Amino acid sequence: MVPLVECCRPMSDSQHPTVTGFRFGATACGIKPDGQLDLGIILAEDAVSVAGLFTKNRVKAAPVVLSMQRVERGRAQAIVVNSGNANACTGAKGMEDAKVITSIVADELGVADDMVLMASTGVIGQPLPSERIEQALPGLISEARPDRIDDFARAIMTTDRWPKVSSIKFPIGFEKEVTVLGVAKGAGMIHPDLATTLAFVLTDAPMHSSFLQRALSTAVDRTFNRLTVDGCTSTNDTIIAMSSSAVDSEPLRGSDRDARRFIDALVDVLGELGKRIVQDGEGARHVIQLEVVGAPSEDAALKVAEQIGRSMLVKTAIWGRDPNWGRMMAAAGMAGVAFDPDKVEIKFGKVTVVRDGVAVGREAEDEARRVMAEPSYRVQIKLGPGKAKATYLFCDIGEEYLRINASYRS
């Protein structure tokens, strides 16, 4: 992930702005127990530019298939999202439910059905309680407001410990200011592509859907596709971006300065959301920024980083604050990348524990344990004399992850 640019820094949770042209709604319709928020909606005042990226899992949920088809037209006006039920592996009934729900929203807004997208998250294989959703939709729409992003963020959560929202304001054109606002859910089943999550990005920057699609793909490749929690991908991964183009300026296109600023802002917003997802990690206690350097190519560096980041043996060692660098060496050797093990160097923070492929010594490992006590830290692995590098976010895994997933359907 790239560092934050000076003009674009994510805002704290208490500072999130509204985005001209969008409203958010949230309600409890009874999918989740105990009256928890479980249904959300994003509404645009008019048809807006839209782009999307979706799971590459061959098993796709009904709302994914439906939204993939509708995003292709490049225009949309609403996204309805439910949590607590994935509506995946539910057959023809699941698709019919998704179509009926989006049709009701379309009727309420007075637009065509294909202007409404849908996303779902939760347990796979259970019928969607569609009647509960249908009954809640009129009130959900009528009560939507520009300032209800935090309620929406809570409505899309499943095993998340906290909502995930990030935003940026930055200048474009002649004294114009635009906003990029992102919201996501995710804690488990996190791995490229798309980090196995739901995420939604709203902006008032002016652009056509073709540019928005390119910008979203670029930003996701630099953020959500470079992090992992448990190496699992889902049936429901969805990232949708919408632009109201409310700011009166020339549409962003190509690689001009304002277009680059927008992509940088999008990278920063998605990067912050990705970091919060990994921090959540269904009980994670440590977030590691893994940097693989000295590689023959960026692709090679990414392959090594991903192999290490998804290793259960590495993750449990991180949980136990054990600088077991041998597990990292072994994982790197499984990545299918050519390197000389006798040239490898490994650092935990600023502490070198491996030099020329062998241990520096017990004292260095003791220092590394102190680094590993921090909630987040950097690990650098130098493969050799190459010039390429890549970064990757991952977290530890321990008892809490096992407890959550052993009882997920209970």
Active site residues: 196
User: Can you give the three-state secondary structure of the chain, one letter per residue?
Assistant: CCCCCCCCCCCCHHHCCCCCCEEEEEECCCCCCCCCCCEEEEEEEEEEEEEEEECCCCCCCHHHHHHHHHHCCCEEEEEEEEEEECCCCCHHHHHHHHHHHHHHHHHHHCCCHHHEEEEEEEECCCCCCHHHHHHHHHHHHHCCECCCHHHHHHHCCCCCCCCEEEEEEEEECCCEEEEEEEEEECCCCCCCCCCCCEEEEEECCCECHHHHHHHHHHHHHHCHHHEECCCCCCCCCEEEEEECCCCCCCCECCCCHHHHHHHHHHHHHHHHHHHHHHHHCCCCCCEEEEEEEEECCHHHHHHHHHHHHCCHHHHHHHHCCCCCHHHHHHHHHCCCCCCCHHHCEEEECCEEEEECCEECCHHHHHHHHHHHCCCEEEEEEECCCCCEEEEEEEECCCHHHHHHHHCCCC
Mutual angle of helices 298-309 and 325-333, in 10-degree steps: 130
The amino acid at 204: D
How far apart are alpha carbons 390 and 276 in whole angstroms?
20
Place of tokens 């043996």: 313
Radius of gyration of the chain, Cα coordinates, nearest whole angstrom: 22
Q: Are strands 75-85 and 39-54 parallel, antiparallel or unpaired?
A: antiparallel
Residues pairing with 354 in the sheet: 346, 359
State the CB neighbour count (10 A cutoff) for residue 177: 13
Sign of CA pseudo-dihedral 349, 353, 354, 355: positive
